[in-house]
Amino acid sequence: MRIKIATLVATTLIIGAIFTTSKVYAWGQNGHRIVGYIAEQHLSDETMRNLLPLLEGQSLAQVATWADEMRSSPELFWRKKSSRWHYINLPKNKTLSLNHAHTHSKDDVTNILEGIYFSINTLQSSTSSLNEKQFALKFLVHLVGDSHQPFHAGRSEDRGGNLIKVDFFDNETNLHSLWDTGLIENENLAYTEYAKFIDTHDAALIKTYLNSSPTTWLMESHKLAEDIYTSTSDEVSYSYVFKYNPLVKQRLQKAGIRLAGVLNHLFDSSDGNKKLKITTKQ
């Protein structure tokens, strides 16, 4: 009986930690690791070789959470400026263009699209230092994941769903956190299990995913967020999971495939990997 009670208390504390955390990050740790793990399965040999000095023995799944972990750093950039990299607020039916995408300093980045292109440009530049490229790679891995979480292209008035309270199986959370962690953790899978379950090697589907650009990913998320806003009630449970779990899995799958596409585009010299519509501007 004591063992059962202790287990129940521990489980309750874990659930509470998931749903009452004060800082909400896109996809949570497991979501980002899933994206990184899937991406690694689709990297070319040349890309893997070229990534080795930047990763310093770590995997994409390991570095995928770095940009969130560093937000606890006392440095000014991480305390005051880095949060802007993770999202973009869009009014309903707003269209993004590459005019939003370019900046020459990490301190000047104001949204996720600028952050993605700053990272890409840094990795492409022959004048970037090793430290600068490592910073850019780790952020890029994270931001490609962020860009596929619908509420990272949500509304400013509710902070991308953070201010919308919902009960998920009688646990108080918010709409953003529900999509970051709640729906993923509800599957009770390790990130490697989850990633293996949803990964794909369907060449036609992968080609469709890669026929896109970062603006595409964020516009997809924006449109999905608008639909989810209108179809989420104050209390969500089994029917909500049934309805939206396939979408969560698709977004994570797309993010992983597209991350691999970006990295192959940047680190593999063969023409066959120039599939993504990435336009850069120095």
Question: What does the pLDDT read at residue 234?
Answer: 92
Question: What does the pLDDT read at residue 28?
Answer: 85
For 161-219, how does the pLDDT look when each residue is reduced to its tens digit (9 = 90+)? 999 999 999 999 999 999 999 999 999 999 999 999 999 999 999 999 999 999 999 99
Q: Domains of the chain by range and CATH? A: 23-273 (1.10.575.10)
Question: What does the pLDDT read at residue 273?
Answer: 55
Question: What does the pLDDT read at residue 272?
Answer: 58
Q: For the chain, first and last CA: distance in Å? A: 65
List, for the chain, all residue ranges whose pLDDT scores fall below the cut of 50: 1-24, 281-282
Question: What does the pLDDT read at residue 275?
Answer: 63
